[in-house]
Every structure is written in structure tokens, then in C-alpha cells.
Chain A
Amino acid sequence: MSGKKRVTKLLIYAILIFLLAICIFPFYVMITNSTHSTSELYTGLKLLPGKEFLNNFRNLTERVNMGRGFLNSFIIAISSTLLSAYFGTMTAYGLYEYRFRFRKVIYSLLMVSMMVPGQLGIIGLFRLCRNMGFLDTYWPIILPSIANAGTIFFVYQFLETTMDENLLDAARIDGSGEFAIFHKIILPLAKPGVSTMVIFNFVSSWNNFFNPMILLFSEEKFTVPLLMNNLNSGMLQDLGAKYTAIAISVLPIIVVYCFISRYITEGMMAGAVKG
């Protein structure tokens, strides 16, 4: 019996390690290739790291301003994330705490917003931005984060489990206004729930490709995914530099993930059980 059990376990570990290898292999090749020169890459596969990373990096940055791309991506991701966290909590609190006339209407609008595919309004959005002079600016990329339905739902559910009405009543007796209550009590209270959403919103904003590609035109405003796309469809014959570009666009995410992976996967499990 225990022999059979041991075989099963061995088989399970074999499956897990096989999948692990599949997950890591592309990243591994990406990193080693970024450390070889183009001529080395032409002569065959290099499974061990080389010494050409800095050369590749120099060749890449001579042609593409990757630093600028990172800065742009950062500006967009940070502002979108902050807007969705602040206004998402505000909307969730408004819906949770007050019984007002259009509450049900707003709740169903939220549902619609969750269900409708993102590409449905893309042509309309493009033409709207054109008419408003919003093309080639960050506004139409950042501002929609105010109405991030997923965040609102998540925070709403979080408030349901953590809210303590007595706290609010005490603050009201002390003469606090409703906005002061929101800032002093609700925001700190919702923080653990909001911070889970902050990570997911940051990642999805960082990786966002379709909308920025349609709405931005000047290369100095491009985010990292757009620069990568440019590199791909344009000039880059320099294979070493290409792999270097891919690697430096991906590595920051992997490095940050190494530190907070546990937090992310546990946050996801918690969210999944509730939703």
C-alpha cells in the first residue's frame, strides 16, 4: 500500500516538475539569449549565459529610449491604480452605506460594466477622444480607472465583512462630516481589501496594450508594451538587442513577483471564494 502511495507521489512530483520546466524555460532562454551577441545567436543555441549583455543593452538604448518607456508606463500605471483605489472605495462605500433613489440603477450599471467586453466601445471611444482633443494624451487611458467595476465589487464585499456601524455613529456624534468619515474611517478600514486590488490593477495597467496602441501616437509617450511592438514590427535586425529588450521589459515584473507572490496567490484565492 505504502509502496503504491510512494509511486503516486513520485508521479505527481514528476508532473509538477515538468510543468515547472515549461513555465520557466521561455524565461530562461530569453535571459541567456540576451547575454549573447547577434552573431553568436546566429550560429546556434546557447544554453549558458554569455558576456554580451552590456553591449546589447548599449545597442538597444542607442535606438530606443527604454528608460522613457518605463517612466511612461509607471506614470500611467500609478495614476490609474490610485484613481481606481480611491474612487472604487468611494463608490463602494456610497452604495453600501446609503439607501438613495438610484442605488439599484447604479448597481445594475456596475453589472453591465463587468459583463460588456472592453472592445465593444473602442471605436466610439477613439472618435470621442478625437473630438475632445484627447488623442495622444494619457487622459483616456488613466481617467476610465475611476469607474473600475471589479474594484468596486471587491471593496463592496470587503466592506460587508468588516464594516462596523458604531464607528460611523460615534464619528457623526462627534460632528464629523460624511467626507471626513470616508477619509478618516472608511479608507483605513478598507485598506487590506483595496491593497489586493491595487496589485492586480497595477499589473493589468502595466500590461495594457490595445487601448494605448490605439490612443497614443508619439513615440516619446509610448509605454513599454508599445515600444516592444514598435521594435518588433520595425527595424530591429539586432537579435541580441531584441532579446535584451524583451528581457528588461519582463524582468522587473518577475523580480517584484518573487517578493510578493505569496500575497498575490492568497489574495486571489480569497477573492475567488467570495466571488
Chain B
Amino acid sequence: MKEKRAKWGIIFCMPFLLTFLIFQLYPIAYSFYLSLTFQENSKTFIFVGMENYKDLLSDKIFWKSVANTWKIWLMCFIPQLVSALLLAVLLTQYRIKRAGFFRAVFYLPNLVTAASIGILFSALFDWQTGSINSLLVSMGILKEKVNWMGSPAFAQGITAFIQWWMWFGYSSILLTAGITAIPTEVVEASIMDGAGSFQRLIRITLPLLKPTMLYVLVTSLIGGMQIFDIPMTLTKGDGEPQKSLMTMVLYLYNMAFKNNDSPYGATISYGLFVIILLFSLLFFKVLYGKKED
């Protein structure tokens, strides 16, 4: 009876399978093929083997985009993890009135359209017409208006800040869920043994949160390496000042869709993939490697 019904499994999975093959697997394979070609005109591609990858490795703008992406991600992720952890611990260890309300507001920036947020911040920090300059000058903090977005360091900083603003609430919800999932017996046993709240945090909470932190780390890495919406809208696509906001995906977009160089765009996307894959595995190893010895 059960054998007879087995064919229904494949029938129920068929829509997924077809869609996955057409819209995911085939484009990925096709991209790989394109990355091995040279585009002569809009229809003809000549096979050139690894040439594009050689070009990529010696492409200074690509490496700059890698460095930019990492800088922005690190400047966002470290404060994000610290603040999210702090919030998660505070909101679970102390009886805070309206904890749910605070959590809800902290999560709000994550739901809002990133493209609109990029445009909002670029308007707020505009040199001549931005509200931030007006506010600082009228309060007497600044003597004259500052060209914020003319400074590479500031541009990267504000991008990291926007990313932090959009994601710390999300991370703190995940970490809160992780903390609540810690069995109460473990916590009670440590209190019986006389552990103070700080010791409890270091010895019990943090080690047991490792899986959640790994999840937050890896998903943030995957998202952070693909950052696009904010730099795109903040700089109208050019990645200025001094290409400091040229991230990997923005470079990919400019190469493939502005310069119409599909093969090179596809090569960049594989470069991005390799970076994400390597570092995801590395983080996994670092956090879990010791246990297996």
C-alpha cells in the first residue's frame, strides 16, 4: 500500500523540482559557462578557459571591492553582535516592563524597504540641503556645513551604521530565542553552585549560544558580502567617493549591466561565491572544530 503511493511523493515535489532546475540550477550553470567565455557581440561567446579568472585575480577594482565589502561588513557586524547580545541578555535576565514593545521597535528597521532607507540617508546627509548639517549648524556644533559623503571613511561608516540599524534588532531576537531555549535546570544548577550573573553569562549562556551565534554570523556574512541596495541608492550606483562604496555586487552589477560584459560579471559572481563559501566553512571550523578533537 505504502509502496504504491510512493510515486505521489515525486508528483508533489515536481513543481519545486522544475522551478529549481529552470530558475536556479540552470542559471548558475549558465553563469559558470559564461565565466569561461569572451563576448564578441551580443550573440557570440568564444570559449577562453580560465582567462576571465586570471583577469579577476589581477583586477585592482575587484580587490578594492572585496576590501570595501569586508570593511563595511566588519564595521557593521561587530557592533551588531555586541549590541544584540547585550539586548538579548538584558531583556531576558531582568524583568523589563514592555520588553516586547522594545523588541518590536528595534526590529522595525529590518522590515522597511532598504532602497528607500538608502535614499532617505543620502538626503539627510546631503552637503547643502541635508537635515543633519542643518541641525548641527543650528545647534552650533558645526561652524559650516560638512560634505559628509565626500569622505570615503564616512561613507563606509554610514553604510555600516545603516546596516547595523537595520539588523541589530533582528539578531537580538534570534539570540533572545537562543537564550530562552537554554534549559532552566542548567541555569538553576549553576546558581546553586554559587555562580554570579557575570560568571553565568561567560560559563553557561555564551557557550550554549554558540549554535545561534554561528547562525547569526554565517547568515550575516552571506548577506553582508552581497550588500547592494544601500550602496546603490546612497551613491546612485557609482560607488563614490573614491570608489569606497564599490561593493562586490555593485561592481558585478556595473560590469554586467552597465558595461554589458556578461562573462566578466559572471566571473565576479563566482569570485563572490568562493569567498562566501570559504569563510562560511572557516567560521564553522573555528567555532566547532575544537569539539571534535
Q: A-side interface residues toward B, CB under 8 Å?
A: 8-9, 12-13, 15-16, 19-20, 22-24, 26, 29-30, 33, 41-42, 44-45, 87, 90-91, 93-95, 97-103, 106, 109, 113, 115-128, 140, 143-144, 146-147, 152, 178, 182, 203, 206-207, 209-210, 214, 224-225, 228-229, 231-233, 239, 242-243, 246, 249-250, 253-254, 257, 261-262, 264-265, 268-270, 272-273, 275
Are B129 and A41 in touch, CB under 8 angstroms?
yes
User: What's the minimum C-beta distance from B92 to chain A, rounded to whole angstroms?
Assistant: 11
Residues of B close to A9: CB separation below 8 A:
94
CA distance A115 to B180 in the complex (A): 27
Q: Does B60 contact A (CB under 8 A)?
A: no
How extensive is the interface on chain B, given as a class? 35 or more
CA distance A261 to B120 in the complex (A): 23
Chain A interface mostly helix, strand, loop or mixed? helix
Which among A13, A152, A203 is the interface contact of B111 at CB below 8 angstroms? A203
Are B131 and A123 in touch, CB under 8 angstroms?
no
Are B174 and A94 in touch, CB under 8 angstroms?
no
Chain B interface mostly helix, strand, loop or mixed? helix
CA distance A261 to B101 in the complex (A): 9
**What 0/1 pattern do residues 265 to 293 of B give for CB contact below 8 A with A?**
11001101100100010000000000000
Residues of B close to A45: CB separation below 8 A:
131, 134-135, 138
- Pick from B7-15, B61-69, B185-193, B198-206 the stretch touching chain A: B7-15
Q: List 22 A-B contacts (CB under 8 A).
A: A15-B90, A26-B121, A44-B134, A45-B135, A91-B15, A99-B9, A119-B249, A120-B28, A121-B28, A123-B269, A209-B114, A209-B115, A229-B115, A233-B236, A243-B123, A253-B112, A254-B108, A261-B104, A270-B177, A272-B177, A272-B212, A273-B177
Residues of B close to A140: CB separation below 8 A:
23
Q: B-side interface residues toward A, CB under 8 Å?
A: 2, 5-13, 15-17, 19-20, 22-32, 34, 83, 86-87, 90, 94, 96, 100, 102-109, 111-124, 129, 131, 134-135, 137-138, 165, 169-170, 173-174, 176-178, 180-181, 212, 215, 222, 225-226, 228-229, 232-233, 236-237, 249, 252-253, 256-257, 262, 265-266, 269-270, 272-273, 276, 280
Residues of B close to A209: CB separation below 8 A:
113-115, 228-229, 232
Residues of B close to A22: CB separation below 8 A:
165
Which among B12, B121, B265, B276 is the interface contact of A93 at CB below 8 angstroms? B12
CA distance A140 to B23 in the complex (A): 8
Are A119 and B272 in touch, CB under 8 angstroms?
yes
User: What's the minimum C-beta distance from B272 to chain A, rounded to whole angstroms?
Assistant: 7
Which among B19, B106, B112, B131 is the interface contact of A33 at CB below 8 angstroms? B131
CA distance A214 to B253 in the complex (A): 9
Are B116 and A250 in touch, CB under 8 angstroms?
yes
CA distance A118 to B27 in the complex (A): 11
Are B15 and A90 in touch, CB under 8 angstroms?
yes
